[in-house]
Structure 1
Amino acid sequence: MRDRPSGTKINQPDPHVRRILERAELEGIELIRFLYADHGGVIRGKAASRSRLAERLRTGIGHTVAMMAMNMLDQLQEVEHMSPVGEVRIVPDPATYVPLPHAPGAAAMLSDLCLPDGTPWDACARTFLKNAVAELASENYTLQAAFEPEFTLGRRLPDPSGGPDRLVPLDDALCYANAGFDTAHDYTIKLMRALETQGLRVEHYHPELGPGQQELSIRHAPALRAADNHVLYRETVRGVAMRMSMWATLAPKPLADQSGNGAHLHLSLWRDSQNVFGEDDEIRAAFIGGLIAHLPALTALTCGSVNSFRRLSPRSWSSAYAVYGPDNREAAVRVCSPLGESGEPNLELKPSDSSANPYLSLGAVIHAGLDGIRRKLDPGEPVDVDPDTRPGRYPRLPASLPEALDALEADEVLMEALGPLRRNAYLTVKRSEAAAFAGRDVSYELFNHLRVF
């Protein structure tokens, strides 16, 4: 594969470039990772050396188109226009440059996938979110968002019976128990410092319900920055653990008999510096209506793995029904009450986890909500009880990845938004994952998700 296209110049001069080059030298950075998220939800990339960084900021790094047809098991799928023939460039966004405290000597930038002439590639997930943000802007809206991730901290050990490696949680502390704070203290402080160094502002932290389960949330940001933040968050959570001879996984269900790890998505819609969700009940209702109408299809993108659907079960506070309600933690869409007099109302989408590609996930949510606004969709009555206590009354979310993919394929709005190349690749990759795990036992599924996510 060629790494340097003759005469190609992708990035125009950028005010961030000189600062990046100066910082890389002052901070002793030797390798700069150009990161992107693929259709399997995996964070991949290539790295430029500091000596070639100025050039690579202009040209990007060469990359085969076939990589966006790779599933989470590194099984390459047959997707039209994603064969061994064809080239794109991994083009970094200089505004996202951060040193990686958990990897001394390394830095990272979030990247787009572009054609050799510099135009966006139709399979680039980050471009999909950019386009969704532009659609919102055409209606004079902006979106603030934050992922609220959970993860399990422990150690990856060989299975005594010779099976796949298993995750042994760090502790068996109770939910929110002070003992859990103490057990994970050294790791948590290092993680917080690493996140803050990268510009991710930590909001709060606590030990969660399951053994070794942690929850650490960061401050909301504009939509693109929120997705970029989640990529950095995922990799930092895992990187800090590895440097401490531990293992952290954000897999939705790394332990079959314990609580799952979500990445609830918080959203607020803004216009003219005003939070529309707090000022306009009709717009908020229509946005919720869009989410509810598209939830079966959205689930294929917000809960993007076979393992995700072990988590989405009734009475587990992860949501299993396509309903909404005020502060209802069993509803798929929770209308959150503001914190204090200065707090802002927001929506929380609960069927969301870190096995999803955050750019596709958040972009699809924007398209669904915007469709609700444009068509003035009615979300129905809010639900103020656990929906599982009223059997048959409320629609269930898809119970498996294949079922969710069928719903996505039937959703005209989201399929149109994804576009032909991206939707074909995503459906093919995800159906291949479903098939790959269908004939294997639970331990194989758990192992492969906890090692990847």
Structure 2
Amino acid sequence: MAKIHQPDPNVRRILERAELEGIELIRFLYADHGGVIRGKAASRSRLAERLGTGIGHTVAMMAMNMLDQLQEVEHMGPVGEVRIVPDPATYVPLPHAPGAAAMLSDLRLQDGSPWEACSRTFLKDAVTALAAEGYTLMAAFEPEFTLGRRLPDPAGGPDRLVPLDDSLCYANAGFDIAHDYTMKLIRALETMGLRVEHYHPELGPGQQELSVRHAPALRAADNHVLYRETVRGVAMRMSMWASLAPKPLADQAGNGAHLHLSLWNDTRNLFEEGSQVRDWFIGGLLAHLPALTALTCGSVNSFRRLGPRMWASAYAVYGPDNREAAVRICSPLGETGEPNLELKPSDSSANPYLSLGAVIHAGLDGVRRKLDPGDPVDVDPDTRPGQYPPLPRSLEQALDALEADEMLMEALGPLRRSAYLAVKRSEAAAFAAKDPSYELFHHMRVF
């Protein structure tokens, strides 16, 4: 069997840490086309070897949807093998799972080359494209989630999520009710190197918002994978349930994962007030936004959240501190705050590597073509019917827009786009054939 790559200089450090910290299993994690975080685990006794070879994995798993239904995708059937190859720089112990650690991973061919369907490689390639133009991107996801308990439905239907509380938005009572959980979560995230920025109880019953510090694009996506799994893992250890699904409760506020972005050239933030580069980047986002939505809001459930007057955006517009705009120009916090953009049609059912990679390609396309974003919008766009272009209102519409977007389809490449479209169209069909409770349950369960 061919080795995947030469041992990383950090390998000895990882092996020593694993022994000192009593780690027995190390999870090699990746994100699939359904937005699910999957992986396999190596024992500590085999870790040195597996850091070099990876763990064998069927190619078919990237054709699996979020219901574990395998789709027919050419080159993703029963024949074929890739390797789940961990990135040693991402090694972290999992405080909520004593004895376990994790590393974010790439999917590689047996000769060590990147596999065309690896989503983490897609983001790496987007970062490389930015670097070739002299830019780097800093990013942070701003996730919300619903904290409660998963209980049987008294009527015999699917399990339901019962929120932890019914406190008001930002209410101090909400801080107190969720305090024990929140402290455990913060300590876990900080232990893994994720710097917590802000926390508050949000609008819906049991809804929480906790954000972590921005980072270079790849690290930001890696952080979001760890964040998602830790939010859920800490809750499970406390006999609770946490869901980052866009709309786990049909009649309550949705959970976004707004994406914050800033573009840099050496030490200069290019999204400062009056920047042409910022305007062009926004122009690229808006030009590709209908297609982008298929990747940044990657589930049927996402489109329950994307509606007018929900502060989630329903129109392809931008504006300064406009929380009904798809792209908000954020005011810097204080004299040391950095200007940034906030993409609001974004949630945690998306594969963060595909989502952020596609955003980079769209923004860079705007910069290269010097796309004019038009005038900023300083009102709720829903108050002016017919004046602004609406976002897709369903996953099917978003996938149609993605298929029609030549630039994004080219960036995704033949194998990745074929698998993504097959997986997502299968999910749309599966949920269309069931009642809403089926959809809500499965999104609450998976995300």
TM range (shorter): over 0.9
Match of 2:38 in 1: 44
The CA deviation string for residues 191-212 of structure 1, in whole angstroms up to 9 with x for no partner, is 0000000000000000000000
Match of 1:340, SS state, is: coil
Match of 2:147, SS state, is: strand
Give the whole-Å Cα distance in 2 for the aligned partners of 1:390 and 1:279: 27
* 2:60 equivalent to 1:78: no
Query: Which segments of 5 or more consecutive residues in structure 1 lack a partner in the other structure?
Result: 1-5
Give the whole-Å Cα distance in 2 for the aligned partners of 1:270 and 1:12: 32
Kept in 1: contact 2:7–2:51 (CA 8 A): no
The CA deviation string for residues 51-94 of structure 1, in whole angstroms up to 9 with x for no partner, is 00000000000000000000000000000000000000000000
Match of 1:140 in 2: 134
Q: How does 1:11-410 map to 2 (within 5 A)?
A: 11-278=5-272, 281-410=275-404
Give the whole-Å Cα distance in 1 for the aligned partners of 2:109 and 2:185: 36
Match of 1:259, SS state, is: coil
The CA deviation string for residues 248-304 of structure 1, in whole angstroms up to 9 with x for no partner, is 000000000000000000000000211011176110000000000000000000000
Sequence identity, in percent? 87
The CA deviation string for residues 79-128 of structure 1, in whole angstroms up to 9 with x for no partner, is 00000000000000000000000000000000000000000000000000
Match of 1:122, SS state, is: coil
Match of 2:419, SS state, is: helix
Amino acid at match of 1:289: G
Deviation at 1:13, TM superposition (A): 2.1
Match of 1:128, SS state, is: helix
Amino acid at match of 1:161: A
Deviation at 1:11, TM superposition (A): 2.4
Match of 2:140, SS state, is: strand
Q: For 2:441, which of 441, 444, 447 is the aligned residue? A: 447
Normalised by the length of structure 2, the TM-score is 1.00
Amino acid at match of 2:429: A
- The number of aligned residues is 447
Give the whole-Å Cα distance in 2 for the aligned partners of 1:360 and 1:12: 27
Deviation at 1:129, TM superposition (A): 0.1
Match of 2:271, SS state, is: helix
Amino acid at match of 1:202: V
Q: CA RMSD in A?
A: 0.5
Normalised by the length of structure 1, the TM-score is 0.98
The CA deviation string for residues 208-241 of structure 1, in whole angstroms up to 9 with x for no partner, is 0000000000000000000000000000000000
The CA deviation string for residues 119-152 of structure 1, in whole angstroms up to 9 with x for no partner, is 0000000000000000000000000000000000
Give the whole-Å Cα distance in 2 for the aligned partners of 1:42 and 1:378: 36
Match of 2:422, SS state, is: helix
Match of 2:35, SS state, is: coil
Amino acid at match of 2:390: R
Match of 1:71, SS state, is: coil
Deviation at 1:12, TM superposition (A): 1.1
Give the whole-Å Cα distance in 1 for the aligned partners of 2:149 and 2:273: 47
Give the whole-Å Cα distance in 2 for the aligned partners of 1:18 and 1:45: 23
Give the whole-Å Cα distance in 2 for the aligned partners of 1:258 and 1:276: 37
Deviation at 1:358, TM superposition (A): 0.0
Give the whole-Å Cα distance in 1 for the aligned partners of 2:320 and 2:32: 34
Give the whole-Å Cα distance in 1 for the aligned partners of 2:19 and 2:299: 40
Deviation at 1:29, TM superposition (A): 0.1
Match of 1:3 in 2: none
Give the whole-Å Cα distance in 1 for the aligned partners of 2:13 and 2:266: 32
Give the whole-Å Cα distance in 2 for the aligned partners of 1:328 and 1:395: 16
Match of 2:252, SS state, is: coil
Give the whole-Å Cα distance in 1 for the aligned partners of 2:295 and 2:52: 32
Amino acid at match of 1:362: L
Match of 1:425, SS state, is: helix
Give the whole-Å Cα distance in 2 for the aligned partners of 1:299 and 1:101: 34
The CA deviation string for residues 296-321 of structure 1, in whole angstroms up to 9 with x for no partner, is 00000000000000000000000000
Give the whole-Å Cα distance in 2 for the aligned partners of 1:167 and 1:16: 42
Runs ≥4 in structure 1, deviation > 6 angstroms?
Answer: none
Give the whole-Å Cα distance in 2 for the aligned partners of 1:125 and 1:188: 31
